[in-house]
Structure formats: structure tokens, C-alpha cells
């Protein structure tokens, strides 16, 4: 069993983002799953390695997050990175950023082919510190949301209710 995804870019993502590169950005990940632990997958992504697995109750070994957790983590990471890149591009100072991503899916979809097998609902909530006014933060947030590849996949899927919002951390002044 093989899963694919390894990143070997010639330029950094931020330089591509900031320069609006006209070429495609190649991303490749590879994975290997052994027969003795069929739900455990060792992933290689460029120079990084990590494990994806499932809970013991469904036959996994719990040596890593599930594919669903990895997907939501990817969305969280993408949202924060793009938010910071857009803020930097617009010269908006951002302090601490916290993000929470919640997803809901119907587990019976794995047994019932008539039920959509993915997330039915995904909610993103970002909390941040900044001295910038709400209008500026909202503009940065909206642009980052549009530029996030993962959000664009889940946010445009017709069977997923996708919501994303931001608010200030309680220690922010504005």
C-alpha cells in the first residue's frame, strides 16, 4: 500500500507566493505501509518523515495521527502560514496566532456507499494579536483564505459546509 506526497521545490513557497510565480509548484509525498501494521504509514515529505496511523480500536497502532487529523492539521497550518505571509506582504504586524479546526463526518459513511465519506462540516477559528484595526485584519484574513490551497479545496466542495472566522485574543488592544 503506497500513499504519495514529497516536496522538492527549487524556490521557497514564500518567494513563489510573494512573486506570483507563473510555473506550477511541484509537491510530492511518498509513503509505505507494511503488512504487519497495515494501517500505519510512514510518510516521507522532502527531508521530513512522519507517521500516519489509526486508533487501536480499528486495527491501528496509534503511532501517529489519523489521515483525518493530518488533513485538518494541514488546513490549520496552511491558514496560519498564508495569514502571516499576506500580513507581511501588506506590512501588518501580527503577534501570536492561535487556530482551532473542527471537522464533522458521518462514520457510517465507511459502511454506506450512499453517504458522502468526507467531512460534512469544517470550522476554522483563528485568534490573533495585532495593533492593526479590524478592517485591515479582516482584509488580510480574507485574502489569506482565498490563497490557502487547502481551504480552497474544502471550502469549494459542494458537500462540505465550510466556515472560517477570526477574532482577537483577549490581550489585543483593538
pLDDT top residue among 111 and 5:
111
Residues 55 and 75 in one domain: no
Residues 31 and 79 in one domain: no
Residues 136 and 167 in one domain: yes
CATH of the domain at 80: 3.30.300.20
- Beta-strand runs (E) in 53-158: 97-105, 119-128
Residues 137 and 80 in one domain: yes
Q: What is the mean pLDDT of residues 95-115?
A: 93
Residues 89 and 38 in one domain: no
Contact, 38 vs 1, CB < 8 A? yes
pLDDT digits (tens, 9 = 90+) for 1-47: 333 333 344 444 555 455 555 677 788 899 998 888 889 999 999 99
Q: Which domain holds residue 115?
A: 67-174
Residues 83 and 159 in one domain: yes
Residues 38 and 108 in one domain: no
Residues 96 and 148 in one domain: yes
Residues contacting 160, CB < 8 A, separation 6+: 118, 119, 120, 121, 122, 154
Query: Which range scores top for mean pLDDT: 26-30, 120-124, 159-163?
Result: 120-124
Residues 74 and 53 in one domain: no
Output the pLDDT for position 1: 35
Residues 146 and 99 in one domain: yes
Give the span between the Cα atoms of 60 and 63, in whole angstroms. Answer: 8
pLDDT top residue among 79 and 171:
79
Contact, 27 vs 48, CB < 8 A? no
Quote the pTM value: 0.82
Q: How many domains, in total, are found in the chain?
A: 2
Indicate the average pLDDT of the chain. 86
Give the span between the Cα atoms of 7 and 46, in whole angstroms. Answer: 5
Amino acid at each position: 500500500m503506497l500513499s504519495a506526497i514529497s516536496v522538492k521545490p527549487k524556490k521557497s513557497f514564500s518567494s513563489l507566493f510573494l512573486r506570483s510565480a507563473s510555473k506550477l509548484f511541484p509537491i510530492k509525498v511518498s509513503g509505505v505501509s507494511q503488512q504487519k501494521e497495515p494501517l500505519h504509514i510512514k510518510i516521507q515529505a522532502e527531508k521530513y518523515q512522519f507517521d500516519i496511523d489509526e486508533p487501536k480500536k480499528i486495527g491501528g497502532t496509534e503511532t501517529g495521527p489519523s489521515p483525518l487529523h493530518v488533513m485538518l492539521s494541514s488546513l490549520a497550518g496552511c491558514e496560519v502560514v498564508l495569514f502571516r505571509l499576506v500580513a507581511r506582504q501588506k506590512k501588518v504586524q501580527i503577534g501570536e496566532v492561535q487556530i482551532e479546526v473542527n471537522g464533522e463526518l458521518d462514520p457510517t459513511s465507511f459502511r454506506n456507499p450512499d453517504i458522502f465519506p468526507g467531512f460534512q462540516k469544517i470550522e476554522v477559528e483563528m485568534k490573533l494579536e495585532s495593533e492593526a484595526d479590524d478592517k485591515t485584519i479582516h482584509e488580510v484574513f480574507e485574502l489569506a483564505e482565498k490563497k490557502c490551497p487547502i481551504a480552497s479545496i474544502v471550502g469549494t466542495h459542494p458537500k462540505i459546509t465550510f466556515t472560517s472566522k477570526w477574532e482577537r485574543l483577549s490581550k489585543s488592544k483593538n
